[in-house]
Structure 1
Amino acid sequence: MSQQTALLQKPVPLAQSTTYKILYVIGICHLLNDAIQAVVPAMFPIIEKSLDLSFTQLGFIAFALNMISSVMQPAVGLMTDKKPMPYALPMGLSASMAGVLGLAFAPNFGLIILSVLFIGIGSAIFHPEGSRVAYLAAGPRRGLAQSIYQVGGNSGQALAPLITALVLVPFGQRGAAFFSLVAAAAVGLLIYIARWYTEKLAIEKKAVIRQKRSAPKRSSLAKRVVPAIIFVLLLIFARSWYISGITSFYAFFAIKEYSFSIQHSQYLLFAFLVAGAAGTFFGGPLADRFGKKTIIAVSMLAAVPFSAIVPFLPPAAALACLVLNGFILMTSFSVTVVYAQELVPGKIGLMSGLTVGLAFGMGAIGSVGLGLIADLIGLKKMIIGVGFVPLLGLCALFLPSDKTVEQWNMKNA
């Protein structure tokens, strides 16, 4: 086992404080990366008319974007657990820049799919390494650090409705080309992050040599850890399917049921996503104080009444419920990542890639599945049905407690 691998499998407990500057910069980069991704669903109301696409085809576009990211993220995380690659971060955003330019000028469904694949590849490279940067900069505040990092991404996703209303409605499909400038800015910031990341690895490599630490052995705990991971993945499935249903199709629901314009329907989504970004930020500090399992369980189960009632409400009440639901549901987002990392502490990149990547993958499958359901039984019935998906949050009650996970790790230290 290489010294660098030993570092990543069991980070050396150095006396360090939280590096907030790096956390803020990587959070901004996450915002810019996910804002680029947000261009894709933001374009749905535009290309649905201009290219005469069905809900199922729109679902396949989201599938292409999210599935490539989902499949690649755990692989990238596993690879970088063994050999970290700081400069993969700006390289990934360069792929996204190429994809968003292609998206702006794609004349047909096939080329749109190809373009979003490039964006998905860039995202797959960025997320595991970005999460590792947040981990390395966290110091003792892992929940807060992951929240700062993840709130950047969720804020970028929240920009999708504004992108539609302020950029794509006036400029059409070619308005997506503006986001190549966003990608270029992210590449510049990630070069700065890559330099810090390289220096951090060098410092901690020396610490590994001094302390001669080795990776923990977890074979005796495999049977206990696997069920917990399965429950975590089920929770991610429930959250991702619900969010996919709202972000991909609720705008069409508002247009049909409330007679909203495209622009007005996007403001409902913007409120939901901004509230979700706020929930993401507060989730980490709350987990640091009250425990990760507690926050995950409360987040998933408290969202159920709001998600179930939203389709039956008038616009103002629906807006209020969307805001509350977005906040409550997303408090568990960053906490789930940290919980999974602590379940398998020797695989930071793999667990980050698996949890975040699975969220993308489940969202991708959800987009296709829910789009198909909407075509078959009607949009309103699909929106009503997806409101009950968060009931799967009952799985959170079966997760091992934070204290139990800590005891497992102490036994294998």
Structure 2
Amino acid sequence: MAWNFPMVVLAATLVGAGSSVFHPESSRVARMASAGQHGLAQSIFQVGGNIGSSIGPLLAALLIVPHGQRSVIWVSAAALIGMLILYGVSRWYAANLTSTRGRQSLHKVDNGLNRGQVFGALSILLLLIFSKFFYLASLNSYFTFFLIDRFHVDVQQAQYSLFVFLAGVATGTLVGGPIGDRIGRKRVIWGSILGTAPFSLALPYVNLEWTLILVFCAGAMIASAFPAIIVYAQELMPGKTGTVSGLFFGLAFGMGGIGAAGLGRLADATSIAFVYHLCAWLPVLGLVAFFLPDMRQRPAA
């Protein structure tokens, strides 16, 4: 219902503020409910948002494109349902926060690392967050424009194609956490981000059909890192689940926003094709994950 651009910005800011308040504490809830499978719990928690994001382009294609922007008001019913569900979750959280289960899931455990090692590992994770979310921003924000520019598809087809990418992101998020529980989070982080490079580097050069295949694979690969990164960071700073989650979710959203703005400016100055050729190299930064300390053998909270 916003009637001018400042009101649109204000509304978007409120949506972002709500998301920012929600994520740190909800990560604590997910960890508390995990029964020791922290990666699986984090994946399930994050994939809810990914599924919602992947459905967004479908709603745009099926609802907003044919019926206009005002039709998006019906989607706000989902937010109301979410509020009702979270009321029940908050009651469970309050009841369990001081229980034996709650204390065991959130208490401090010595990970055997000194302050310098923790700081170094956090610095590497922040660089990986930059790589991951700048690349995701190039696809989230500009993939439809890339398809229209390169293959001359219409807006509706471009939105369907964006759904393919976001479905890959949801798939990767769901599998990344439980795989990290089994083989170690460092391996997942390293393999996920660096493993995206073959798909991202090939993406600007193939036809439309292969573009959709590669973008699904790239989305699945690079998204599988984030649940592992969050849980790895929580284990780096045990007992500070909310702080760590807030830091990394905040940086993730912030990097995505900065990336979208910066890449849009770059696309205006050069071309959308140049942006995709440049961003294709970002996953190569996954090489730095080799220097993360391996905590597979260390006790976890």
- TM beyond 0.5: yes
* Amino acid across the alignment from 2:125: V
C-alpha separation between the residues in 2 aligned to 1:188 and 1:316?
41
Is 1:379 the counterpart of 2:272? The answer is yes
Residue of structure 2 aligned with 1:362, choices 230, 235, 255? 255
C-alpha separation between the residues in 1 aligned to 2:36 and 2:293?
22
Q: CA deviation at 1:130?
A: 1.2
Residue of structure 2 aligned with 1:322, choices 215, 218, 241? 215
Q: Is residue 135–residue 283 contact of structure 2 (8 Å, CA) maintained in 1?
A: yes
Closer/same/farther in 2, CA of residues 384 and 108 from structure 1, 3 Å limit: farther
C-alpha separation between the residues in 1 aligned to 2:295 and 2:258?
31
Q: Which residue in the other structure is 2:59 paired with?
A: 163
Closer/same/farther in 2, CA of residues 218 and 390 from structure 1, 3 Å limit: closer
Q: Which residue in the other structure is 2:30 paired with?
A: 134
Is 1:173 the counterpart of 2:50? The answer is no
Q: Is residue 308–residue 388 contact of structure 1 (8 Å, CA) maintained in 2?
A: yes
C-alpha separation between the residues in 1 aligned to 2:256 and 2:48?
19
Q: Which residue in the other structure is 1:270 paired with?
A: 163
Closer/same/farther in 2, CA of residues 266 and 237 from structure 1, 3 Å limit: same
Q: Is residue 250–residue 383 contact of structure 1 (8 Å, CA) maintained in 2?
A: no
Q: CA deviation at 1:108?
A: 2.5
C-alpha separation between the residues in 1 aligned to 2:97 and 2:290?
38
Per the normalisation by structure 1, the TM-score is: 0.69
Q: CA deviation at 1:201?
A: 1.4
C-alpha separation between the residues in 1 aligned to 2:53 and 2:64?
15
Instruction: Give the length in aligned residue pairs.
Output: 300
Closer/same/farther in 2, CA of residues 318 and 398 from structure 1, 3 Å limit: same
Closer/same/farther in 2, CA of residues 205 and 133 from structure 1, 3 Å limit: closer
- Aligned residue for 1:400, secondary structure, equals coil
* Amino acid across the alignment from 2:121: A
Q: Is residue 162–residue 270 contact of structure 1 (8 Å, CA) maintained in 2?
A: yes
Q: Which residue in the other structure is 1:339 paired with?
A: 232
Q: CA deviation at 1:160?
A: 2.1
Q: CA deviation at 1:107?
A: 2.7
Is 1:147 the counterpart of 2:147? The answer is no
* Amino acid across the alignment from 1:269: L
* Amino acid across the alignment from 1:151: V
Gaps of 5+ in 1: 1-104
C-alpha separation between the residues in 1 aligned to 2:212 and 2:24?
33
Closer/same/farther in 2, CA of residues 152 and 220 from structure 1, 3 Å limit: closer
Q: Which structure has the bigger radius of gyration?
A: 1
Q: Which residue in the other structure is 1:193 paired with?
A: 89
Q: Is residue 108–residue 238 contact of structure 2 (8 Å, CA) maintained in 1?
A: no
Is 1:292 the counterpart of 2:185? The answer is yes
* Amino acid across the alignment from 1:265: A
Residue of structure 2 aligned with 1:253, choices 134, 140, 146? 146
* Amino acid across the alignment from 1:224: Q
- Aligned residue for 2:176, secondary structure, equals helix
Is 1:353 the counterpart of 2:246? The answer is yes
Q: Is residue 304–residue 391 contact of structure 1 (8 Å, CA) maintained in 2?
A: yes
1:49-77: per-residue Cα shift (whole Å, max 9, x none)? xxxxxxxxxxxxxxxxxxxxxxxxxxxxx
Structure 1 outlier segments of 4+, above 3 Å = 204-208, 213-220
Q: CA deviation at 1:179?
A: 2.1
Closer/same/farther in 2, CA of residues 254 and 136 from structure 1, 3 Å limit: same
Q: CA deviation at 1:219?
A: 11
Q: Is residue 185–residue 296 contact of structure 2 (8 Å, CA) maintained in 1?
A: no
- Aligned residue for 1:402, secondary structure, equals coil
C-alpha separation between the residues in 2 aligned to 1:156 and 1:354?
22
1:83-110: per-residue Cα shift (whole Å, max 9, x none)? xxxxxxxxxxxxxxxxxxxxxx223322
Tell me how large the CA RMSD over aligned residues is: 2.2
Q: Which residue in the other structure is 1:313 paired with?
A: 206
Q: CA deviation at 1:403?
A: 3.7
Closer/same/farther in 2, CA of residues 216 and 151 from structure 1, 3 Å limit: closer
Per the normalisation by structure 2, the TM-score is: 0.94
Gaps of 5+ in 2: none
C-alpha separation between the residues in 2 aligned to 1:403 and 1:187?
37
Aligned-residue sequence identity (percent) comes to 40
* Amino acid across the alignment from 1:329: I
Matches within 5 A, 1:19-168: 105-168=1-64
